[in-house]
Amino acid sequence: MKTFIPIACFSWISWAQCPAGALHVTFPDVDPVWEFCVLRPSDSSGPSGSGVEIRDAYYRGILVFKRAHAPILNVDYDPGGCGCFRDWSNSERSFAMDNPLATPGFYEPTSNAETVCDNANSLTTPPGDCPWKVGQECHTGVAIEKSAERILITSQMQAGWYRYTMRWEFYVDGTIRPTFGFGVYNTSCSSASHRHHNYWRFDFDIDDAGNDFVQEVEGGVPNVFANEVTRTWTGASTAWEVYDASSGRGYRITPGSGDLDLPADAFSKLDFMASLYKAGELSDSGGGCAINEGTIANGESITNTDVVLWYRAGVHDVVGSNIFKCKAGGPILEPIGDWNMCGPDPGNLYPKWHSADIDYDYNTNGVVDVADYASLVNNDCIGP
């Protein structure tokens, strides 16, 4: 039986199961709608790390994804440059932030956190490393910044001469904005233009881990994917959507405006990929600089099952033009459907409360009884 307790109608109940070292986040502080776990890059999963990793993300008490991170990162130089690299995302680099929290490695800055990307303002001169101002505090880890409408999560990684900024924004309306910034702090290997690529991995488990389907929407026309697939966008009208087939809830992935500036090529290969969830498949395999997409998506069925979505963002660093200017990319994730835990029609909850596939066992005594129904009434989830 599917357990579905309308916690958003009651006092807060914690759902996220955070591993050791992770920060447990609820947002906003009063009447939270988001709950999730944040792992710093040094604790992230995957063979080369995956930056700031989000686990057990719940919106209004409903599971969105089990894990969201960026386990594949690479760069390819034009001829005469430095070749190509598969970079890593688990080596942290200090950036400007203060005010440590009780969980080691996490900070709630008293002013805006600043990374290399925030200080790369010159097209001809790299910004160097923190500090950028006299007396500025520099720390490794993750910054947590809250405003009325969103929570901003920031960290900075290093791979050789590169400085990568990874950010997550979670908004009260359910929108999620993951952003990856590609920066450099000095003049190493700046003799040739090159392209950076970052691949996010979103393990969507909307409502639960199964019964999902994925579709592409082009020009308003949906196309459901029956099998694992890789795709490239054809223009600003392309979007991808994942749904739970039972609840109708889902998320839409729309390419960011900056991502549309760098189409996929023979090295980057794809903009989007949908694959069947497999335990332990947190990245590709086979080695090399470029993504080995065939080790992830090889045609298996993804109809009404547990799916994983991948998204690429890329930037172009051009010698003599913008090579030292930090550029960033990332998608927009927006909720689709009814995310109200009290249901789309609260007045009709009583018969649903007795149905076979929904269990409102709010008092957790093992049965759905009169006390459970009374709790729904008392908390305005259902009329008397």
For the chain (384 residues), the mean pLDDT of every run of 10, in chain order, is 34 77 95 95 97 96 95 96 96 98 98 97 90 97 97 97 97 98 92 95 95 93 96 89 93 93 94 97 95 97 97 94 93 93 44 40 55 52 46
Q: Say how far residue 124 (Cα) sits from the centre of its chain.
A: 32
Cα angle vertex 58, ends 251, 334, to 5°? 25
pLDDT at 340: 78
In single-letter form, the type of residue at position 43 comes to D
CA dihedral (115, 117, 119, 120) positive or negative: positive
Residue 358 is predicted with a pLDDT of 41
- Residue 212 gets the label, from left (phi > 0), alpha (psi -120 to 50) or beta, of beta
Containing 315, the helix (H) or strand (E) segment is strand 307-317
C-alpha 172/C-alpha 131 separation (Å) is 33
Cross-strand partners of 243: 213, 250
Return the SS3 of 71: strand
Supply the DSSP string of 35-66, one letter for each residue: EEEEE-GGG--STT--SSEEEEEEETTEEEEE
Q: Which fold has domain 43-50+69-341?
A: Beta-galactosidase; Chain A, domain 5 (2.70.98)
- Predicted local distance difference test score (pLDDT) of residue 121: 87
